[in-house]
Amino acid sequence: MHFYTLSGLTVASEIVLPGALACAHPAVADVTVRAGPVPATLAEPTYTGPIWQIAVNEVLLSVPDIARFWLKDGREIAFQADTAADEADVTAFIVGSVFGILLHQRKYIALHASAVCVNGKAILFCGASGAGKSTLAAALGQRGYSLLSDDICALSIPANGAPIAHPDGRQLKLWANSIDRLSLAERRAGRLRRTLEKFYVEPPEATSTPLPVGAVYVLREARPPHAPGIERPNVVDATVLLRRNAYRPLLVIRMEQRADYFRAAAALAGTAGIFHLTHAFNFARMPDTLGMLERHWQELGLLEKAA
């Protein structure tokens, strides 16, 4: 078995999980990953999506030509690989979409977000695939902010105080173009899949302890009518924004967790703040975005003001 920490959970896996942070043999692993068999359908699904089904405590995900994944109780991931798939095809999905679904199953507040550490606080960048989460986290890494998580960020909401972001110290996942534009070739590790020009990238520094959330930014492209900048939506809009930036909003509905996200949004709005970060999708403008963020962190008291 191989042992990892992903989103603060210990994972025992029959197969090597690239991009995940290896850890010592835990007494009891939170999650196990093992090879099949996986049924083609669930016995009593409560909802059937295009390539997935959910039932009480079960999710079945069928990715054609790659694998079927069966998630049980948020504790077990069974996979049955297609004959045409290689191991990297399967593991790319396990450490990505499948683990994100598992976090929903475990009732975490699972956000589609990358996160970095600023003075002991977790700063989250939420957005759909392509919004620039990983690229922004990578650029902040180059400025010395350590990586907390990439693409998926699990939060737990304590009875009082700031929500806690769970680290996974995992590697960033970046497209060849981003690696090139950010001059990160030296940190490039393996390809996610043989057929993709997307790579695991070692962050300069990673945080491995849970951190209270300092701010949540929802990324938005600078297109009319939105100009680059940071603004704070009202609390009602912020609540909707958080739900929409769940890792998979559809699961929040199907798993009847809307109230949990409502409470999480209230807790975040009260302790950290949920903001819109509107930025240009343009590498040449990245320094502007980083400068805007650092000024905002000074205003929020997360960073000391420049002399």
Partner 1 sequence: MTRTIWLASYPKSGNTWLRMLIANLASQDAPADINDLPERGGISSARAPFDHLTLIDSSLLTHEEIDCLRPRVYEKLARGAQDDEYDAPEAALPVRFVKVHDAYTLTPKGEPLLAGRGGAEGAIVIVRDPRDVAPSLANHNRTSIDDAITFMNDRNAGFCVKTSRQYNQLRQQLPGWSGHIVSWLDQADIPVHLVRYEDMQADTAGTLKQVLAFAGRSATVEEINRAVKFADFAQLQEQERTKGFREAPRPHAGKKFFRRGEAGAWREELTAEQAARIEAEHAPMMRRLGYELAGAAPLARTG
| Shortest Cβ 38–partner 1 spacing (Å) | 16
In the sheet that 198-201 helps form, which strands lie side by side, from edge to edge? 172-175, 198-201, 188-191
Q: Which is nearer to partner 1, 29 or 113 (by Cβ)?
A: 113
| Shortest Cβ 235–partner 1 spacing (Å) | 16
DSSP state of 127: -
| Shortest Cβ 244–partner 1 spacing (Å) | 6
Q: How many C-beta atoms lie closer than 10 Å to residue 180's C-beta?
A: 13
Q: Where do contacts with partner 1 occur on this chain (CB under 8 A)?
A: 49-52, 61, 63-65, 92-93, 96-97, 101, 128-130, 151, 175-178, 192-193, 195-198, 221-225, 240, 243-244, 248-251, 253, 280-282
Cis omega (within 30 of 0) on the bond before 287? no
8 A C-beta contact, residue 153 and residue 8: no
Q: Which is nearer to partner 1, 1 or 185 (by Cβ)?
A: 185
Gyration radius of the chain's alpha carbons: 19
C-alpha torsion angle, residues 217, 151, 117, 271 (rounded to 10): 40
| Shortest Cβ 143–partner 1 spacing (Å) | 23
| Shortest Cβ 108–partner 1 spacing (Å) | 16
Residue 284's SS3 state is: helix
| CA 20/CA 46 separation, integer angstroms | 32
